[in-house]
């Protein structure tokens, strides 16, 4: 652990931050304080996480893994709630969607022997799933809310003709879910041709065979695609209900916020 603090390359990398600060100052962007604060905060947070993971990985049982993933899921759901302002009662829906996608995706990989049930694999991969799913859920819910607000008269027309809330919003749901998966699909199309993903690059830099790196990267990309699909589908199908009353009336989202 002491070698971590004695690594000159770690501190030399801070010069890249200073370059960004200089550019901000030179172009009068007024982002110097934010860049410095964000860099220091990120450094401190990652260092703290590193020491925590050293302790977690030293534990033999998987109970600490489950508790860690549970805490991460709760935090991710809380962030989704904060980003989905205007949609009431979205926290339990976000938590359920994230928990289901995390459990099914990791469970399937372990059962299929794609990965081993070890803390040093489950926690990092779980974090990747939650981070990707969290962003997807936030974007899906925000797009859903925006579409409902912009097509309010269309929805009200359907409701006035006797349609249920699901029938009135069915077209919007399909469009939102489809649009939410475009980034993941485009990423797969460009994989290896336009960019080299983080895990693959990290393993190669660490000295692993490119084929070993490719194996893990393929697992990760398929894992993220599946978890994003599950999460976005669940938050859309469960979240739209929060936009209507039990009597199938469209809520005033401005007041709900």
Q: Kindly state the percentage of the chain with pLDDT values over 90.
A: 26
The residues spanned by each domain of the chain are 1-58, 61-256
In tens, the pLDDT along 199-247 reads: 777 777 777 788 888 888 888 888 888 999 999 999 999 998 888 888 8
Mean pLDDT, the chain, integer: 85
3-state SS string over 18-74? HHHHHHHHHCCCCCHHHHHHHHHHHHHHHHHHHHHHHHHHCCCCCHHHHHHHHHHHH
Between 182 and 78, name the one with better pLDDT. Answer: 78
**Residue 152 in tokens:** 């309010």
**How far is CA 78 from its chain centroid?**
12
DSSP 8-state assignment for residue 257: -
Q: What is the pTM of this model?
A: 0.79
Would you say residue 137 has pLDDT above 50? yes
Between 1 and 13, name the one with better pLDDT. Answer: 13
In tens, the pLDDT along 2-44 reads: 566 677 777 777 788 888 999 988 888 888 889 899 888 888 8
Backbone phi and psi for residue 37, each to the nearest 5 degrees, phi listed first: -65, -45
pLDDT score at 72: 92
In tens, the pLDDT along 73-125 reads: 999 999 999 888 878 889 999 999 999 999 999 999 999 888 888 888 888 89
- Sequence-ordered alpha helix ranges (H) in 112-252: 119-150, 152-160, 165-190, 198-205, 210-239
pLDDT score at 257: 44
pLDDT score at 106: 92
Residue with tokens 């860099």: 39
């Amino acid at each position: 652990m002491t070698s971590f603090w004695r690594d000159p390359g770690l501190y030399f990398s801070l010069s890249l931050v200073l370059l960004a600060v200089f550019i901000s100052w030179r172009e009068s962007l007024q982002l110097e304080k934010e860049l410095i604060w964000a860099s220091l905060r990120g450094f401190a947070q990652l260092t703290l996480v590193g020491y925590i993971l050293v302790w977690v990985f030293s534990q033999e049982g998987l109970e600490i893994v489950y508790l860690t993933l549970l805490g991460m899921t709760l935090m991710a759901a809380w962030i989704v709630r904060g980003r989905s302002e205007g949609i009431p009662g979205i926290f339990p829906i976000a938590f359920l969607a994230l928990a289901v996608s995390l459990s099914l995706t990791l469970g399937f990989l372990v059962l299929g022997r794609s990965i081993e049930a070890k803390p040093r694999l489950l926690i990092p991969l779980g974090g990747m799933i939650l981070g990707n799913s969290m962003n997807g859920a936030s974007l899906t819910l925000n797009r859903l809310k925006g579409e409902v607000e912009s097509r309010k008269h269309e929805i009200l027309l359907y409701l006035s003709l006797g349609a249920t809330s699901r029938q009135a919003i069915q077209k919007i749901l399909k469009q939102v879910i489809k649009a939410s998966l475009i980034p993941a699909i485009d990423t797969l199309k460009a994989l290896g041709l336009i960019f080299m993903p983080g895990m693959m690059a990290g393993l190669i830099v660490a000295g692993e065979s490119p084929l070993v790196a490719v194996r893990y990267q393929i697992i990760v990309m398929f894992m993220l695609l599946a978890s994003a699909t599950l999460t976005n589908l669940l938050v859309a199908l469960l979240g739209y209900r929060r936009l209507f009353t039990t009597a199938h009336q469209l809520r005033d989202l401005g007041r709900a916020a």
